[in-house]
């Protein structure tokens, strides 16, 4: 029988255009608060140190570099790669090792350094996560995949673009209150709805940011948890899902099929449902992705996700708060770090440690992280439970 596993500490670098740092320094920024909390190198049995795309840096064997820079050069490590869901894929891999009894205490750290290349080059690299034979030759960029979903969704449900802009307004509202955020400023609905087009129907404010940053967590087996904290966050449920590689082969574009499958698996394992959630971190790489996530997670019926944003149910004082850290849109999206940034945020909210009361969610007992890779080829969903 698998051992219970908890998140006992977490760290997070400043997200942004970090020309003052590279991958290694970002990793140190994320690990330092964990070290300061007492999880020194000698307490860590093994690590998963990951990044999604080596093209951005040219660095091979990156987990070795990261381990060495953090003083963990003699501790077993590995890298996991699953595009934008690399962070929670790493957490899933580490959870399995701890639950199985291979290790007791593991550091899981994700990083991405994306701004040392131009935006056009970064867009090129990310488009290579599409099918290189059949999709890449037609210039289907990362936003283009989600624009294909948006076109279909807006047609099917006769939805105006303004609904998507309302999600962007919320993201920036909370990002402006998050000192770790890449673009911490408010935007108006008019600005968001009329921004320069990127991949129509998606515009600039529908798209997440090309961000440098790192985030990490320590997980521990139940019998070791008390050595580190009296406020652990239990990993209660994990669901993983997958969808077809080529977007034309999906059964639907108004949903991410793998996300629905992952959600069911996570809820079943945790023994909870959408109504039990106190907060949710969703993978809003694009505004349409957040809207679809509401529905894939069962927070709204298909086609009804817009009601959650229009009724402000997803604000911090609403019925089901979503992305009250700014999300990928305003906080930023350093690919390999994103899933662990979500985990960090849920632990912070459970502990009542949001920097600003105006984004602190009240009394979080159950939180969910929804982390999607590329356009849905891989999805990881975690349900966390407050342990005190």
Shortest CB 153 distance to other proteins, Å: 9
Q: Please choose, from the candidates 65, 86, 77, the residue with its C-alpha nearest in 3D space to the C-alpha of residue 129.
A: 86
Structure tokens at 165: 């802009």
Burial class (CB in 10 A: 0-12, 13-18, 19+), 61: exposed
Give the containing element (helix H, strand E) for 269.
helix 257-270
- Collapse the DSSP code of 278 into the 3-class scheme (helix H, G, I; strand E, B; otherwise coil) and give the result: coil
* 84 has catalytic annotation: yes
Choosing from 173, 316, 333, 370, the catalytic residue is 333
CB of 164 to other proteins, least distance (A): 14
In the complex, least distance from residue 209 CB atom to other proteins, rounded to whole angstroms:
14
Identify which of residues 41 and 55 has a Cβ nearer to other proteins in the complex.
55
Sign (positive or negative) of CA dihedral 136, 375, 329, 113: negative
User: What angle, rounded to 10 degrees, do the helices at 287-296 and 257-270 form?
Assistant: 50
| Cα first-last separation, the chain | 23
How far is Cα 383 from Cα 124, in angstroms, rounded to an integer? 34
Nearest distance in Å: CB 128, other proteins: 8
Residue 156 DSSP code: H
Binding site for other proteins (CB under 8 A): 118-121, 123-124, 126-127, 132-141, 143-144, 147-149, 151-152, 155-156, 196-201, 246-249, 253
CB of 206 to other proteins, least distance (A): 12
Point out the catalytic residue in the list 84, 207, 285, 324: 84
- Least CB distance from residue 282 to other proteins, whole Å? 22
> Which residues make beta-bridge pairs with 279?
367
Nearer CB in complex with other proteins: 58/179 = 58
Residues composing the chain: 388
Tokens 């996700």 sit on residue: 305
Residue with tokens 């908890």: 6
Instruction: Name the residue among 196, 62, 54, 180 with its Cα closest to residue 117.
Output: 54
Closest separation between CB of residue 254 and other proteins, Å? Answer: 10
Nearer to other proteins by Cβ, of 210 and 309: the residue is: 210
C-alpha–C-alpha distance, residues 290 and 292, integer Å? 5
- Answer yes or no: are the C-beta atoms of 219 and 5 closer than 8 Å: yes
**Residue nearer to other proteins on the CB measure, 50 or 115:** 115
Of the two residues 230 and 249, which places its CB atom closer to other proteins in the complex? 249
Nearer to other proteins, 3 or 152 (CB): 152
Q: Which is nearer to other proteins, 248 or 363 (CB)?
A: 248
Q: How far is the CB of 165 from other proteins (least distance, A)?
A: 17
The three-state secondary structure class of 7 is strand
Q: Toward other proteins, which CB reaches closer, 134 or 162?
A: 134
Q: Which residues, in sequence order, are CB contacts of 153 under 8 Å at separation 6+?
A: 159, 253, 254, 288, 291, 292
Q: What is the spatial order of strands in the sheet that 5-12 belongs to?
A: 77-78, 46-50, 105-112, 213-221, 5-12, 233-242, 378-386, 366-373, 279-281
Nearest Cα to Cα of residue 387 among 371, 373, 366: 366
What are the catalytic residues?
Answer: 84, 333
């Amino acid at each position: 029988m698998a051992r219970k596993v908890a998140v006992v500490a977490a760290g997070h670098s400043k997200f942004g255009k970090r020309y003052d740092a590279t991958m290694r320094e970002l990793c140190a920024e994320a690990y330092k608060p964990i070290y300061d909390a007492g999880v020194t190198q000698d307490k860590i049995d093994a690590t998963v140190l990951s990044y999604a795309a080596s093209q951005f840096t040219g660095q091979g064997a990156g987990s070795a570099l990261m381990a060495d820079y953090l003083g963990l050069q003699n501790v077993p490590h590995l890298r996991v790669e699953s595009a934008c869901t690399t962070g929670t894929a790493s957490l899933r891999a580490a959870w399995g090792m701890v639950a199985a009894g291979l290790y007791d205490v593991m550091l899981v750290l994700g990083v991405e350094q994306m701004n040392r290349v131009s935006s056009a080059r970064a867009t090129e690299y990310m488009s290579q996560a599409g099918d290189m034979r059949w999709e890449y030759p037609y210039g289907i960029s990362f936003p283009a995949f989600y624009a294909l979903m948006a076109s279909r969704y807006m047609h099917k449900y006769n939805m105006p673009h303004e609904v998507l802009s309302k999600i962007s307004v919320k993201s920036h509202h909370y990002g402006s209150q998050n000192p770790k955020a890449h673009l911490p400023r408010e935007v108006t609905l008019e600005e968001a709805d009329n921004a320069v087009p990127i991949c129509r129907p998606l515009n600039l404010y529908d798209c997440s940011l090309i961000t440098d940053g790192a985030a990490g967590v320590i997980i521990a087996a139940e019998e070791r948890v008390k050595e580190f904290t009296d406020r652990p966050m239990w990993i209660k449920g994990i669901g993983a899902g997958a969808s077809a590689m080529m977007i034309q082969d999906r059964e639907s574009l108004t949903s991410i099929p793998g996300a629905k499958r992952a959600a069911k698996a996570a809820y079943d394992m945790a023994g909870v449902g959408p109504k039990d959630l106190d907060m949710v971190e969703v993978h809003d790489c694009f505004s349409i992705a957040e809207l679809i996530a509401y529905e894939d997670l069962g927070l709204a019926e298909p086609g009804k996700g817009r009601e959650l944003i229009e009724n402000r149910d997803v604000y911090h004082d609403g019925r089901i708060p979503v992305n009250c850290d700014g999300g990928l849109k305003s906080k930023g999206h350093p690919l390999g770090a994103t899933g662990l940034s979500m985990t960090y945020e849920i632990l912070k909210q459970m502990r009542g440690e949001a920097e600003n009361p105006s984004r602190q969610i009240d009394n979080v007992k159950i939180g969910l992280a929804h982390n999607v890779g590329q356009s849905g080829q891989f999805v990881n969903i975690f349900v966390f439970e407050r342990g005190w």
